Amino acid sequence: MTNNKMNQLADEINQLLSKSIPESSLNTNLEDSMRYSLEAGGKRIRPVLLLLTLEMLSNEYEKGISAALGLEMIHTYSLIHDDLPPMDNDDYRRGKLTNHKVFGEWKAILAGDALLTKAFDIIVNDDKLENSAKIKLIQRLSFASGHLGMVGGQTLDMQSEGEGTSVDIQTLEQIHNAKTGALLKFAVMAAVDIANPEKYVAEKLESYSEHLGLMFQIKDDLLDVYGDEAKLGKSVGSDIENDKSTYVSLLGQQGAEDKMKYHTDAAYEDLKQLPDCYNTDNLVYIIELFNNRES
């Protein structure tokens, strides 16, 4: 039931993303390059989380569509740039050739730049939103995705590569809070910006989103060591191979699993403390999904 709702929203996101880049009068295939990566997407967990949170708060998830699309555009541009040769130098992502392998490096850089720019464009031009909501969303998105958020986290991550266990747990947490946590937090808090619930609700949801972000990363690290390659669709052990600090390398399997359980319980607890008028089923389901995923 809840899974159906998620799939339905992911389908809607997929369709809207494909239509989100208008043709240009300039005779280039830049727009094809932008769409190629937008359409190569996975589970659309970030935009779906945004829409489910908004649905819970206001019963009108439609008002979150532009923020959800903008969020996925930011996520997508970051993957295009991260895959480039001077960064992670990846040829494949989710079984498809990466953007620069298809369109060339210079166009991949520009497609990423254009998607980043388009994220703000799509939110600021959304007629369904009041000006005050647009302002709050753009404030939040520019912070979450910029040098104090995602880009800063990616920088610290790149810088720490190869340092192995010399990166301590505080630095690891900083990296993940910024690199992946910031956009997951945006997903939840963008819904708060639009629905404008009381402060207590906003605080519980913010805490929920922070625990989700850490769950996401700890699980990633566990799967890279103990995951099933067939289900993951990629080989395990890459973190060890790259001498990368992870929750497992720093805390051991038991330590990482304990930490996973701590954040899972805390996320449940945040939802329990919300007023009874909110139906938290879908957000509970997201916790289960993050906790039990095998890929």
Name the site residues for a second copy (rule: CB under 8 A): 21-22, 24-28, 30-31, 34, 77-78, 81, 84, 86-87, 104-107, 109-110, 112-114, 116-118, 120-121, 124-125, 131-132, 134-135, 138-139, 142-143, 145-148, 151-156, 158-159, 171, 174, 178
Choose between 127 and 276: whose C-beta lies nearer to a second copy.
127
Q: Least distance in Å: CB of 64 to a second copy?
A: 18
Choose between 157 and 270: whose C-beta lies nearer to a second copy.
157
Q: How many CA atoms lie within 13 A of 110 on its CB side?
A: 11
Query: Could you count the other beta carbons within 10 Å of the beta carbon of residue 216?
Result: 17
Tokens 């690290």 correspond to: 221
CA dihedral angle for residue 141, residue 196, residue 18, residue 286, rounded to 10 degrees: 90
Choose between 100 and 219: whose C-beta lies nearer to a second copy.
100
Tokens 């995951």 correspond to: 227
Q: Least distance in Å: CB of 170 to a second copy?
A: 10
Q: Least distance in Å: CB of 273 to a second copy?
A: 29
| Beta carbons within 8 Å of 88's beta carbon, 6+ residues apart | 82
Choose between 22 and 95: whose C-beta lies nearer to a second copy.
22
Q: Least distance in Å: CB of 235 to a second copy?
A: 24
Q: State the Cα–Cα distance between residues 162 and 156, nearest whole angstrom.
A: 12
Choose between 174 and 249: whose C-beta lies nearer to a second copy.
174
Q: Least distance in Å: CB of 26 to a second copy?
A: 5
* Secondary structure of residue 92 in the 3-state scheme: strand
Q: State the Cα–Cα distance between residues 113 and 153, nearest whole angstrom.
A: 18
Q: Least distance in Å: CB of 165 to a second copy?
A: 17
Helix axes 150-160, 182-195, angle to 10 degrees: 170
| Phi, psi angle pair for 184, to nearest 5° | -65, -40
Report the residue count for the chain.
Answer: 295
The residue type at 176? H
Choose between 196 and 291: whose C-beta lies nearer to a second copy.
196
As a whole number of Å, the CA-based R_g of the chain is 19
Q: Least distance in Å: CB of 173 to a second copy?
A: 11
Q: State the Cα–Cα distance between residues 172 and 64, nearest whole angstrom.
A: 31
Choose between 4 and 106: whose C-beta lies nearer to a second copy.
106
